[in-house]
Chain A
Amino acid sequence: MYKNGKYRETDKMSDLICENYPMVLVMSRFGIALGFGEKNIGEVCRQNGVDACTFLTVVNFLTEDVTTPVTDLNKCLSIDALITYLHNAHDYFLNFRLPHLRRKLLEAITECPKDVAFVIQQFFDEYAEEVHKHMSYEEKVVFPYVRGLLAGKKDPKYNISIFRKRHDQIEMKIVELKNILIKYYPGPGSNLLNSVLFDIFATEQDLASHNHVEDYLFMPAILALEKTIN
């Protein structure tokens, strides 16, 4: 099962991934590829030009199931690296995960009545559009604001609490799709459809943990940063 306690720079990268396979996504969002051999986390990070402290902060945050906002942030955390991580995660969802899921879903429901297939597709497209809006707000408003803060400039018209208030749970609607497929899907069952269902479960989990990082790690870090600039 999962390891207890926090991961450190001296732990092997391969151990981290084997014990916690969702971390493979974290790694790749930090720009680290597979094939790192026997090296430890610190070495792999340095070799890839990744801030090891930020990487470990995210990894430990996700593996420890943190349920309250992190207020005692390590000073070595690089907000710049955290933004890159979040940005890459957005890119992954919008340009890979959702389109991939859509293709697979449409293929899986070809056997079911046309009208049902039509509304399911419509539902998915609306959902993808919502995720798009949600994430592009962060890309276009929140990240530039934070980059300004890092450069020492504070936008008088904006603060991170505005984001905190409007930040919604983006995974809720995909839960609805899952519920409908499970309870009411009218066509014959198929291995492909089951596989789509597994993908939806994984996507839901992944989106929830992405949001979790934003709410409980990123947001407190920005609140603290705001206090240092007047």
Chain B
Amino acid sequence: MSTTLKIVIAEPSAIVRNGLETILKRLPGGLRVQFSEITTIESLTEDLRTYRPDILIINPSIPGYFTIPHLKEMTGCPNMKCVAMLYAPIDHSLIRYYDDHINILDSPDEIGLKLERLHAKSEEDGDGDEQQTLSAREKEIVVCVVKGMTNREIADRLFLSTHTVITHRRNIARKLQVHSASALTVYAIVNKLVELSDINKA
């Protein structure tokens, strides 16, 4: 399963930041990473709030005051994993709130292992890996959408609340990575969920 890992790097040194980014981009395995960089603590909370990363790699000595539990709470990202970026040996109590740490001398393989471990942990926290194919109910909804029915009409037809219909549609869009009704039409025809004549009638 290919997953995209959103990583924020908060590190004042451009050399370390770019080096880390290069290593992460070349990691073997199915991890795809998306980056955002932060160089000062001022914009950190704001950026975390909008970006909501899976993993934050942060230099504990970045200028400015912060604590990890506080940061997780303030930004509304309780499941975000925080990894300390260390240049030198450091007293363990100073990094006890971090989920893990990367040492400046770690090899790319070690870094990859650490990230995979963290990622596996957060998977367990969540719903686990979910099915990417549509359920029977979702397929029914696709058919209705393609025929041009409104959420209200779909709800009435399938005896659901419109709220449930909307949730289903959101899940469909996420699973298929298809958002527009016209793309859904192509999906439905290709997978023989509907006939061309069904659509043209509508």
Residue positions of A touching B, CB distance < 8 A: 115-116, 118-120, 122-123, 126-127, 172-173, 175-177, 179-180, 184-186
B113 within 8 A of A: no
Q: Closest CB-CB distance, A104 to chain B, in whole Å?
A: 18
Q: Which one, B57-65, B162-170, B176-184, is touching chain A?
A: B176-184
Q: Closest CB-CB distance, A132 to chain B, in whole Å?
A: 15
Offer 7 A-B interface pairs, CB within 8 angstroms, sorted by A. A116-B189, A116-B190, A119-B190, A120-B186, A122-B182, A176-B183, A186-B190
Question: From B196, which residue of chain A is reached at the shortest CB distance?
Answer: A115
Q: Mark B181-199, 1 if CB is under 8 A from A, else 0.
A: 0110111011100011000
Across the interface, B183 reaches (CB within 8 A) one of A116, A123, A185, namely: A123
Cα of A171 to Cα of B189 in the assembled complex, Å: 23
Question: From A120, which residue of chain B is reached at the shortest CB distance?
Answer: B186
Question: From A183, which residue of chain B is reached at the shortest CB distance?
Answer: B176
Specify the main secondary structure of chain A where it touches its partner. helix
Tally of chain B residues near chain A (CB < 8 A): 15
Which of A115, A123, A176, A179: most chain B CB closer than 10 A?
A: A176
Q: Is the CB of A180 within 8 A of B190?
A: yes
- Known contacts A115-B196, A118-B196, A119-B196; decide if A176 and B190 are in contact (CB<8 Å): no
Besides A123-B185, A127-B182, 8 new A-B residue pairs in contact (Cβ under 8 A), listed by A number: A115-B195, A116-B190, A119-B186, A120-B186, A122-B185, A176-B178, A179-B176, A184-B191
Which of B183, B190, B191, B196: most chain A CB closer than 10 A?
A: B190
Q: Closest CB-CB distance, A190 to chain B, in whole Å?
A: 17
Interface pairs A-B: 7 shortest CB-CB: A176-B183, A115-B196, A184-B190, A119-B189, A119-B186, A176-B178, A123-B182
Cα of A172 to Cα of B173 in the assembled complex, Å: 13
Question: From A114, which residue of chain B is reached at the shortest CB distance?
Answer: B196
Q: Is the CB of B183 within 8 A of A172?
A: no
Cα of A119 to Cα of B196 in the assembled complex, Å: 8
Q: Is the CB of A176 within 8 A of B180?
A: yes
| Neighbouring A residues of B187 by C-beta, 8 Å | 180, 184
Across the interface, A180 reaches (CB within 8 A) one of B178, B195, B196, namely: B178
Question: From B35, which residue of chain A is reached at the shortest CB distance?
Answer: A67
Question: From A175, which residue of chain B is reached at the shortest CB distance?
Answer: B177
Cα of A154 to Cα of B186 in the assembled complex, Å: 46
Across the interface, A115 reaches (CB within 8 A) one of B179, B180, B189, namely: B189
Which of B182, B185, B196: most chain A CB closer than 10 A?
A: B182
Across the interface, A179 reaches (CB within 8 A) one of B178, B185, B196, namely: B178
| Neighbouring A residues of B178 by C-beta, 8 Å | 176, 179-180
Cα of A122 to Cα of B196 in the assembled complex, Å: 12
Q: Closest CB-CB distance, B187 to chain A, in whole Å?
A: 6
| Neighbouring A residues of B195 by C-beta, 8 Å | 115
Q: Closest CB-CB distance, A125 to chain B, in whole Å?
A: 9
Cα of A127 to Cα of B181 in the assembled complex, Å: 12
Q: Is the CB of A173 within 8 A of B189?
A: no
Q: Is the CB of B179 within 8 A of A180?
A: no
| Neighbouring B residues of A123 by C-beta, 8 Å | 182-183, 185-186
| Neighbouring A residues of B177 by C-beta, 8 Å | 175-176, 179
Q: Is the CB of A180 within 8 A of B183?
A: yes
Q: Closest CB-CB distance, B147 to chain A, in whole Å?
A: 13
Question: From B189, which residue of chain A is reached at the shortest CB distance?
Answer: A119
Q: Closest CB-CB distance, B55 to chain A, in whole Å?
A: 19
| Neighbouring B residues of A175 by C-beta, 8 Å | 177
Q: Is the CB of B191 within 8 A of A176?
A: no
| Neighbouring A residues of B179 by C-beta, 8 Å | 172, 176
Q: Closest CB-CB distance, A171 to chain B, in whole Å?
A: 13
| Neighbouring B residues of A185 by C-beta, 8 Å | 190
Q: Is the CB of B176 within 8 A of A126?
A: no
| Neighbouring B residues of A184 by C-beta, 8 Å | 186-187, 190-191
Question: From B200, which residue of chain A is reached at the shortest CB distance?
Answer: A118
